[in-house]
Amino acid sequence: MADRLPSRIEGMNETEKTLRAVSEGAERWLHRPIKCLDHGFVRLVDYMGNDTAIVQAARVSYGTGTKKTTEDRGLIRYLRRHQHTTPFEMVELKFHCKMPIFVARQWIRHRTANVNEYSARYSVLDREFYMPESDNLAAQSLSNRQGREAVLPPKEAQEVLRLLKEDSSTAYDHYEYFLNDDGMGNPVDAKRSMLARELARMNLPVNYYTQWYWKIDLHNLMHFLALRMDSHAQYEIRVFADAMARIVKEAMPIAYAAFEDYQLNGMHLSGPEKVIIAKNNWPMTEAKLQKVALSMLDNNKRETAEFIDKAQQLGLIAKK
């Protein structure tokens, strides 16, 4: 395969010599930020391992895997297909990310990474806040408390953006007033105290930007991507997940292709759903499937809707 574990270092100068697993794709992305939203970014700052490292871990060997790329590819795909995840945990990636605070609060729920966040107790935050594009301002979904529906009418969107910018700017003005800091550690107004930074920050809204270093193994990163690249995920965090996926796709191409085939673009069927498929004649009209699925899924409307979506993807619903 393209990214082999180096076994010889002859011909390299002193700064090029390495015995670690090298990924050419990861090397190309090191310290190259991908812009996300208006002020955010994702950039790869370090990594450990490559596709071959997954194979090596699976075989618990000291060699460079097999001599045939097809055999390494087959093993990686087998591991992904059967959810043998430990070998993927041997590969790690470290990212520097800059995102709105409300995105960070969603992101931090993935508790399988090592995180070190920019400290507003120690440093002063920049005047950078997230302003959505009008196309991303949508009304609250009536069927999903976490979702959006139709995009706001232009006049309403314009007013939302006006208020958002006004509130965010005013909050930062007050933040600077609280700090009373000229940037050199001296008060701007000698007649007033300098409020502690850990207190001055408390009025800033969650659309202000924060930064962190985020290190995670490949298995848990793929779990993060599967959830946050999904069409049901919030748009703002999906942008960051898509950026990371671009990097991983080049850094570990065989592992990422298996992830796409078996997880990202795959489909899980529950036990009751398999029974529905086995016990009925297909294709079936959507109206009939609605009745059948409701009766076999304990009248759970959401589960029924999810199964109908799967049936559509599988081509089981009769065309009108």
Cβ(246)–Cβ(77) below 8 Å: no
State the sign of the Cα–Cα–Cα–Cα dihedral 135, 144, 271, 299. Answer: negative
Cβ(230)–Cβ(129) below 8 Å: no
217: amino acid identity, one letter: D
Alpha helices in 180-270 (DSSP H): 197-200, 218-228, 235-251, 253-259
First-residue to last-residue Cα distance in the chain: 48
CA distances from 306 to 62, 148, 218, 286, 303 (A): 46, 17, 28, 13, 5
Which residue matches tokens 């080049």?
250
- Active-site option among 228, 238, 246, 302: 228
The pair of three-digit structure tokens given for residue 309, joined into one six-digit string: 């979506």
C-alpha–C-alpha distance, residues 29 and 182, integer Å = 37
C-alpha–C-alpha distance, residues 219 and 97, integer Å = 19
**Closest by Cα among 220, 297, 307 to 268:** 307
Residues 6+ away with beta carbon under 8 Å from 290: 304, 308
Asked about 8 being catalytic, the answer comes back as no
Neighbours of 307 (CB within 10 A): 24
From the centroid of its chain, how far is CA 273? 29
Which residue matches tokens 């010599």?
17
The pair of three-digit structure tokens given for residue 240, joined into one six-digit string: 């960051």
Rg (CA), the chain: 25
Cβ(42)–Cβ(247) below 8 Å: yes
Residues labelled as active-site residues = 228
